[in-house]
Amino acid sequence: MTDLAFSKDAMKEYEWMLTRYPNKEAALLPTLRIAEREFENLDPAAMKYVADLMGLSPAKVLGVVTFYTHYRREGTGTYHLQVCSTLSCALRGSEDVCAHLSAKLGVGLGETTDDGLFTLSKVECLASCDTAPMLQCNDDYHEGLTLEDVDHLIDRLREEAKAGGAA
Amino acid sequence: MSDSGAGMVSWVLNGDPVESPAGMTILEAAKAHGAELPHFCYHPGLSIAGNCRICLVETNRSPKPAISCSERISDGLEVQTHSEKAVEAREGVMEFQLINHPLDCPVCDKAGECTLQDYSFDHGPDESRFVEKKNIRHTKDLGPTIKIWGNRCIVCTRCIRFCDEISGTGELCVVARGDRSVVDVFPGIPIDNPLAGNVVDICPVGALISKDFMFQSRVWNNEHTETVCGGCARGCNVTVETNEGFVKRLMPRENTDVNDWWMCDFGRYGWRYAHDDRRVSVPRRGAEAVETELEAHRDLGELVRGAWGGSKKVAIVVDPFLTCEEAHLVGRVAAGTGATVGGWLPPSGDELTFPGKFKISGEKCPNRRGVEAVLGQEVFGSQAKAVESMLNSGGVDLVIVFAGFPNADCPDALASAVGKATARVAFTLFDGAWSEAADLVLPSASVFEKEGTYVNEDGRLQRVRSKDRPGDAQLAQPGLHSASISSPWVTSELVALQRALVHVGDAERSLSAAGVFRQLADSNEHFKGQSHRGIPATGVPLGGLAPAGVGEGSES
Ligand code: SF4
Ligand code: SF4
Ligand code: FES
């Protein structure tokens, strides 16, 4: 069903990754990271490729991918906004951040904007309690947020997208 | 149990000092001492997951309750299964299990055999404190035979471990996490393997549902008959569940010498032919129905009497679906008439062995070895050739054919050979060339209508049982068509052959299958010392029949 394949560099990285784990299965998480980078998101074709590559059942890979919130799933927007909702952030107003984003973008949690730019999720601890409330956008942390900061972030990302390049 | 020998552990169960073999888990050891503990995720045939926590007990080893299905016993361990602390812990678990459960027992197929229902009765609160919204999870097809009601899933992972460890096909996984987690398949890869049906059996709740059995009957209305599957020479131990005379489903019965806790889908769903409208259910002379079965059996007796004493050339073609008892009666007819006996096997299929050791035999019939043990090692070999050439060379006065092949899978050789005798009798499940050529057609009984014994490919003697015990019930009501008895079952070959022997004067009266087996045990080395009553529920290895090897031939 798929003619996806890792690039040469990605394959090299994968092979190196294997040497760092006691068995193949244990290397699944970092391999999924590579796949996410290579294929933009982990759609069924990408998961199937990883399963075949690692000799695991596709169902096992699906189970792992869906267990975590931090993998890019099929249909994720250009910018994945993951708002931490665990204790420190919750106490410091993460609910407001979520509600604000939801109103501003016109999407609910787990939804993607019509233009395909933003996906909004609420996630568990991102290990940045000292800078609560915070969110992660793709690979970047945005910390100590006020609602104005959130507005600025969205504006900036919109412009960036218009200029033709996601971070 | 009194010697604390090597490998034994002394521990205390509910205040009583007990001993168990080292290495056992608390749950297993307690069960061996008569204290059953509730369990969802634990299954004796699967690896230990320890995730459901309904098996919690109190011990002297830690202030926290222990997971009895995964914690092993050790010297000095003290376990309380029903202390206040243990019961409270399990009640807590139960309350959480029920948080998102839809409690839709009235429309759930598992109701009546659901462990969640049972434990809820034992441990559940009578009122829910949960006022929040319940999570909704998917209801969908997981494969051609299986559906999931995700809301009922308690994520015990039994089904997943089965596919990983026993069938080795790995189609199932848990998707998402926390209280949203539920079992699913990878998009485009449904659960579709020869053992798939087992996941429905082991699902402790009504999450996985067999489409074949869905909404067919409430389980408590089903009557249970412990028998063996006739689908192949493995002879899996099964329970046939019937309701008002109709098969509703087959369930595997535990037998660690044969099928563990499992059975294959071919056997599980392979019962429909027994209720096929096209089955031959009424005896016929040529195309014309015979008024009563008794009359047809008299016809058979008359033909056998005419050939008695060896004055005629007689051939008997047997099938490997006959019970040992029926084969014994065939042997008596053959002895009296000097008949040559041979038979054909159905086309063989693939032999499959799964990672969990479960095996499907390539021999698609249940009793080749039994028929051989009774009628001689060569009955399906050189004897079949002898019968075939005898029929093809002509001059055979009487041929009696047994064609109990499900789904009319009759070997071609049989069909072409039958037409060549002067008088032709065919026992058959379905019409075909062999029965169309016959003067007297008699219904064969399916595996579900037989009483007696089969010998599986390992030489294991096992009981075949029928809900309506046609061997007895119809003996008590001679003269009636099976179709006019309240059950849809037909009279078995066991009855017909005995009536013929009585007619000839070779037998005084017809016996039950157990009675015929006594004769067999008295006259045949392999069966010596056995009796129906003495055969354990899981069967017994038969003397002189080495597993999968060639035993010694013996003519009866
Ligand atoms: S579907 Fe049934 S067996 Fe599978 S995890 Fe859920 S409750 Fe357990
Ligand atoms: S393996 Fe053979 S005996 Fe067992 S269930 Fe399947 S067909 Fe029946
Ligand atoms: S049966 Fe022990 S944790 Fe499930």
What is the rounded CA–CA span in Å between residue B400 and residue B438? Answer: 9
**pLDDT grade for B554, boundaries at 50, 70 and 90:** very low
| Closest partner CB to B170 (pick from A1, A48, A59) | A59
CA terminus-to-terminus distance, chain A? 31
CA pair distance B19, B10, nearest whole angstrom = 5
Q: Is B302 helix (H, G, I), strand (E, B) or coil?
A: helix
For A1, the token pair is 């069903």
DSSP conformation letters of B371-383: HHHHH-TTTTTHH
Within 8 A of A47 by CB-CB distance, chain B residues are 186
Look at residue B544 and tell me whether its pLDDT is greater than 80. Answer: no
**Cα–Cα dist B193/B171, whole Å:** 9
Per-residue pLDDT at B546: 60
The mean pLDDT of chain A is 93
Q: Considering Cα of B256, then B232, then B206, then B141, what sign does the dihedral take?
A: positive
Mean pLDDT score across all residues of chain B: 90
B69 lines ligand 3 (CB under 6 A): yes
Q: What is the DSSP letter of B117?
A: H
Q: Output the pLDDT for position A1.
A: 47
Pairing of strands B314-318, B396-403: parallel
Task: Name the helix (H) or strand (E) containing B427.
Answer: strand B421-428
Lowest mean pLDDT across A129-133, B276-280, B355-359, B398-402: B276-280
Specify the CATH number of the domain B8-97. Answer: 3.10.20.740
Question: Of the given ranges (A54-68, B63-77, B399-413), which has the lowest mean pLDDT?
Answer: B399-413
d(CA A48, CA B378): 52
Give CA A17 to chain center in angstroms. Answer: 21
Contact A67 B171 (CB under 8 A): no
Beta pairing class for B16-21 and B8-13: antiparallel
Ligand 3 atom nearest residue B27's Cα: 2
Of the candidates B329, B343, B259, the one whose C-alpha atom is nearest the C-alpha of residue B300 is: B329
Please determine, for residue B552, whether its predicted confidence score (pLDDT) is greater than 70. no
How much is the ipTM here? 0.85
- Tokens 């329970």 identify what position? B239
CB-based contact, A66 to chain B, within 8 Å: yes
Ligand 2 center from residue B467 Cα (angstroms): 20
Among B residues 134-163, those touching chain A with beta carbons less than 8 Å apart:
163
Search chain B and give the residue with CA nearest A55. Answer: B170
Taking residues A42-50, what's their average pLDDT?
96
Closest CA to B127 of B155, B154, B91: B91
Q: How confident is the model at residue B228 (pLDDT cuts 50, 70, 90)?
A: very high
Strand segments, DSSP code E, in B3-60 are 8-13, 16-21, 56-59
Q: Residue B279 pLDDT more than 50?
A: yes
Ligand 3 within 6 A of CB of B89: no
Which residues on neighbouring strands pair with residue A141, listed in sequence order?
A: A136
- Per the CB < 8 A criterion, the answer to whether B331 and B325 are in contact is no
Question: CB-CB: which of B170, B177, B188 is closest to A60?
Answer: B170
Q: Is the pLDDT of residue B285 over 50?
A: yes
Mean pLDDT of A128-138: 96
Does residue B319 carry a pLDDT above 50?
yes
The structural architecture, per CATH, of the domain A8-67 is Orthogonal Bundle (1.10)
CA distance B226 to B265: 18
Residue burial A11-33, b: 16+ Cβ < 10 Å; e: rest? eebbeebeeeeeeeeebbebbbb
Ligand nearest to C-alpha B235: 2
Whether B490 has a pLDDT exceeding 80, the answer reads: no
Ligand 3 atom 1: residue of nearest CA: B39
Taking CA atoms, B47 is separated from A95, B4, B70, in Å, by 42, 28, 10
- Does residue B331 have a pLDDT over 80? yes
Query: How many angstroms separate the Cα of B449 from the Cα of each of A109, A117, A123, B458, B466?
Result: 60, 67, 60, 24, 5
Task: Please report, rounded to a whole number, the percentage of residues in chain A having pLDDT higher than 70.
Answer: 97
Q: Taking residues B386-406, report their average pLDDT.
A: 92
Instruction: Tell me how far apart the alpha carbons of residues B73 and B85 are, in angstroms, rounded to a whole number.
Output: 19
Among B354, B353, B359, B380, which residue's Cα sits nearest to residue B369? B380
B99: which strand partners?
Answer: none
Sign of CA dihedral B108, B109, B113, B115: negative
Report whether B464 contacts B242 (CB < 8 A): no
In percent, the amount of chain B with pLDDT more than 70 equals 92
The phi, psi pair for A49, rounded to 5°, reads -60, -45
Q: Which residues of B508-521 are buried (b: 16+ CB within 10 A; e: fewer)?
A: eebbbbbebbbbbb
CA distances from B12 to A123, B29, B241, B459 (A): 47, 11, 40, 42
Q: Indicate the pLDDT class of residue B545, thresholds 50, 70 and 90.
A: confident
What pLDDT is stored for residue B165 in this prediction? 98
State whether residue B355 sits within 8 Å of chain A by CB.
no
Burial string for A113-143 (b: 16+ CB within 10 Å, else e) reads: eeeebbbbbbbeebebbebbbbbbbeeeebb
Cα–Cα distance measured from residue B91 to residue A149, given in angstroms and rounded to the nearest whole number: 48
Architecture of domain B276-347+367-531: 3-Layer(aba) Sandwich (3.40)
Q: What pLDDT score was predicted for residue B189?
A: 98
Any CB–CB contact under 8 A between B170 and chain A?
A: yes
The residue-averaged pLDDT of B104-129 equals 89
Report d(CA A19, CA B167) in Å as an integer.
30
pLDDT tens digits, one per residue of B430-470 = 998 888 889 999 999 999 989 999 999 999 999 999 876 44
Domain extents for chain B? 8-97, 276-347+367-531
| Residue pLDDT, tens place only, B19-36 | 999 999 999 999 999 999
Q: How confident is the model at residue B128 (pLDDT cuts 50, 70, 90)?
A: confident
How does DSSP assign A130-154, residue by residue? GG-S-EEETTEEE-S--HHHHHHHH
Q: What is the DSSP letter of B165?
A: I
Q: For chain B, first and last CA: distance in Å?
A: 46
B112 pLDDT higher than 60 = yes
CB contacts < 8 A (A, B): 40
Strands (DSSP E) found in B218-321? 223-228, 237-243, 246-252, 284-285, 288-289, 314-318
Q: Which of B164, B176, B186 sits opposite A58 (nearest CB)?
A: B186
Q: Give me the pLDDT at residue B486, please.
A: 34
- Give the closest residue to B321 by CA, choosing from B158, B498, B455, B222: B455
> How many A from CA of B551 to the centre of ligand 3?
46
Nearest-5° angle of CA B138, CA B112, CA B43? Answer: 70
- Spatial separation of the C-alpha atoms in residues A100 and A102, rounded to whole Å: 5
pLDDT at B489 over 50: no
For residue B278, the SS3 value is: coil
Q: Which of B394, B376, B260 is nearest to B318 (CA)?
A: B376
Of A1, A48, A59, the CB nearest to B185: A59
pLDDT in tens, B134-191: 989 999 999 999 999 999 999 999 999 999 999 999 999 999 988 899 999 999 999 9
- H helices of chain A, in order, are 8-19, 28-39, 44-54, 58-67, 87-91, 94-105, 147-162
Residue A48 at interface with chain B, using a CB cutoff of 8 Å: yes
**pTM for this model (two decimals):** 0.91
User: What residues does each domain of chain A span?
Assistant: 8-67, 79-162
Tell which CATH classification among 3.40.30.10, 3.40.309.10, 3.10.129.10, 2.40.110.10 matches the domain A79-162: 3.40.30.10
Which residues make Cβ contacts (< 8 Å) with residue B428, sequence separation at least 6? Answer: B280, B401, B403, B404, B410, B434, B435, B441, B442, B443, B444
Closest chain A residue to B161, measured at CA:
A60
Residue B487: which pLDDT band, with cuts at 50, 70 and 90?
very low
Find, among A89, A73, A101, the residue nearest to A157 by Cα.
A101
- What pLDDT, on a 0 to 100 scale, did the predictor assign at position B291? 85
Q: What pLDDT is attached to residue A70?
A: 83
CA distance B54 to B119: 9
